[in-house]
Structure 1
Amino acid sequence: MMPNTVRSVPKCFVTAPRPVARWPPSRTNPEMNSLILRMVSPTRWVAVALGGLGIWLMAAPFVLGAPMVDTWNDVIVGGALSLLAGHNYASEREQGKPSQWIAGILILLGVWLFFVPFLVGVSGLLLWNDVVVAVLVTALAGYSAYAAQLIEQTRHHTPTDEL
C-alpha cells in the first residue's frame, strides 16, 4: 500500500481562472457588461468580415473579368463597404459598440448590390458573386445594427425590483 503523498503540480500547468463571458451581456451587472463586451464582442468580427467582403468586391471584377459598368459599381461599393466596416470596427473599439447609422448604410449598400447585376444585365459567375456578397453584407450589417441596439439598451437599462 502506497502512503498518502501529495504531489505538487508544476507551475506551468497552473493557470489563473478566466472570467466566464456571456453573450448577450447581463442586464443586472453593468460593471461586468463592459468587461464582457470588450472580451467577446462579436461585432468586431462582423466588421472584419464586412471589410474582407468589401476588399473581395473591389478585386472580383478584375479577377472574374466584369464589364466596365459592373466593374465601377463593384469597386465603388466595395470601397465604401471597406471604409464603413473600418469605421464600425474603430467605433467598436472606442465606444464599445458599432454605429447603428453606419450599419444602416451597409444594409442599403447590400440591397443595392443585390439589384445592380439584374439592372446592368450581368450573368453567370459575376451575377452570383454580386448576389452572394450582397446577401452576406446585408445579413452581417443587419446583425451589426441589431447588436448595436442591444448593447445600447443594455447600457441604459436600470434594474428594478419587479417580479
Structure 2
Amino acid sequence: MRYLFVILFLLISTNLQSQIFEKNLKLENQYFNYNQDVLFVIKKMREEKRGGFGYSPLRGYTSYVMYLLFQNRSKDSIYEVDLKKIHLANPRTKKKFDLKWYNVAGVGSKTKSTFRIKPGKKRTFILFYMYEKNEDIFFLIDEKLSKIKLLDN
C-alpha cells in the first residue's frame, strides 16, 4: 500500500511540475510570408520557462517552441527555405534572436537548416528560440517585422 502511494505521488508531482514550467499559448490564425510564394503558419506554440534542447534561458528570458507549417503556393517553382533566416525580434529593445534548435516534426532529424519545398507541398518543422519575458513577439524575415498575435488566455 505504501508503494502504491509513493508511485501515485510521483505521477501527480511530475504532471504538476510539467504544467508549471510549460505553457501552451493560444494564437490567432495568421500567415507569415517567407517569400512571395512560400507562406508559413504557427500550428502550435508553447513557452518553456526552463528551456530545453540543451539551452537554458538567462534571467529575464524565456524560451518558445513553435511548430511551423510551410506551404509552397506556386504552380511550378521549387523554393529553398533557410530556417536560420527566420528570427524573432523585439523592435522596442532593437534585439534580434536567432534560431537555437530545429527539427522535422514527426519522425526524423534535421542537420541542415535549409530545405526544398516543391510546388503545392507542405512541410512542418519544430523551431526553438530564446526571447525576452513579457514582451510582444515579432518574426523578422528579410528585415520585415511581423507581430505574432496571441489570444488572451
Instruction: Give the TM-score normalised by structure 2.
Output: 0.26
Considering fraction of residues, name the structure with more helix: 1
Instruction: Give the TM-score normalised by structure 1.
Output: 0.25
Larger gyration radius, structure 1 or structure 2: 1
Considering fraction of residues, name the structure with more strand: 2
